[in-house]
Structure 1
Amino acid sequence: PYSLLNRTFESGLVEVIHRENVGLLAYSPLAFGVLSGKYLTGVPHPNARLNLFPNFTRYNSENTRKASAMYNEIAQKFNLTLAQMSLAFVRQQGFVLSTIIGATNLEQLEENINSIHVTLSEEILAEIQKVQDLIPDPAP
């Protein structure tokens, strides 16, 4: 997976893919739905992914919740949704060739697709990096 909550790919594999002239097909860019924003106030209902798949605890840690809340504040500051900002971040990485998205309803699918029109400014990217520096890869 590659997302705002799991950027471990950047610390070991980016050099290899540049040398080998390949790219990353990023999957789980919304970190199991955590970066969709629906878990910001806790796990919403019994059928939520975090309840259905309890072994995915990396997405349910305190650091993951803290980082997600901080990323959400950045997104709101710039009139974006957390999902838009998260998907735009992944898409803007030079080593990402494409992104595998997922949605459980039409509204989510439309938001995900429309994120292609979002370009993050240097200011937004700098704020994102501050969160990464403070809470590095909370869901590796």
Structure 2
Amino acid sequence: VEAEQATADYCAIARQYGLDPAQMALAFVTSRPFVTSNIIGATTLEQLESNLASTSLTLSDEVLQAIEAVHTRQPNPSP
């Protein structure tokens, strides 16, 4: 239940800011200074193109703050 709520919250952030949820997630991971690689997964060419496009997406401070707020409420939704 907690994982479903966290997922819904992250998707709501993406919708609010006109972002694709998967691209937002990938862009967030890529923006972390400790990440040296970001593993993507795609089963269609469309998904692959969308995933690759995330490398040029810079998340605004507002989006990052919204993501952090969800994380603060539920830091480990799928223990």
- Compare relative contact order (CA 8 Å, sep 6+) and give the higher one, 1 or 2: 2
Root-mean-square deviation (CA), in Å? Answer: 0.9
Greater strand share, 1 or 2?
Answer: 1
Q: TM-score, normalised by structure 1?
A: 0.54
Output the TM-score relative to the length of structure 2: 0.93
Percent of aligned pairs sharing the same letter: 48
Alpha-carbon separation, structure 2, partners of 1:127 and 1:95: 20
Amino acid at match of 1:84: Q
In structure 1, give the amino acid aligned to 2:24. M
Question: Is structure 2 residue 78 aligned with structure 1 residue 125?
Answer: no
Superposed CA offset, 1:42-99 (max 9, x none): xxxxxxxxxxxxxxxxxxxx11110011001101111101001100000000011111
Among 68, 89, 99, which residue is 2:38 paired with?
99
Larger Rg, first or second structure (1 or 2): 1
Between structures 1 and 2, the one with greater helix share: 2
Tell me which amino acid in the other structure corresponds to 2:72.
Answer: D
User: Which residue does the alignment assign to 2:51?
Assistant: 112
For structure 1, list consecutive stretches of 5 or more residues without a partner in the other structure.
1-61
The match for 2:4 is 65
Aligned to 2:17: 78
CA distance in 1, matches of 2:78, 2:24: 18
Pick from 82, 90, 109 the counterpart of residue 29 of structure 2.
Answer: 90
Q: Aligned AA for 1:75? A: A
Question: Structure 2: where are the runs of 5+ without partners?
Answer: none
Runs of 4+ in 1 over 3 A off after TM superposition: none
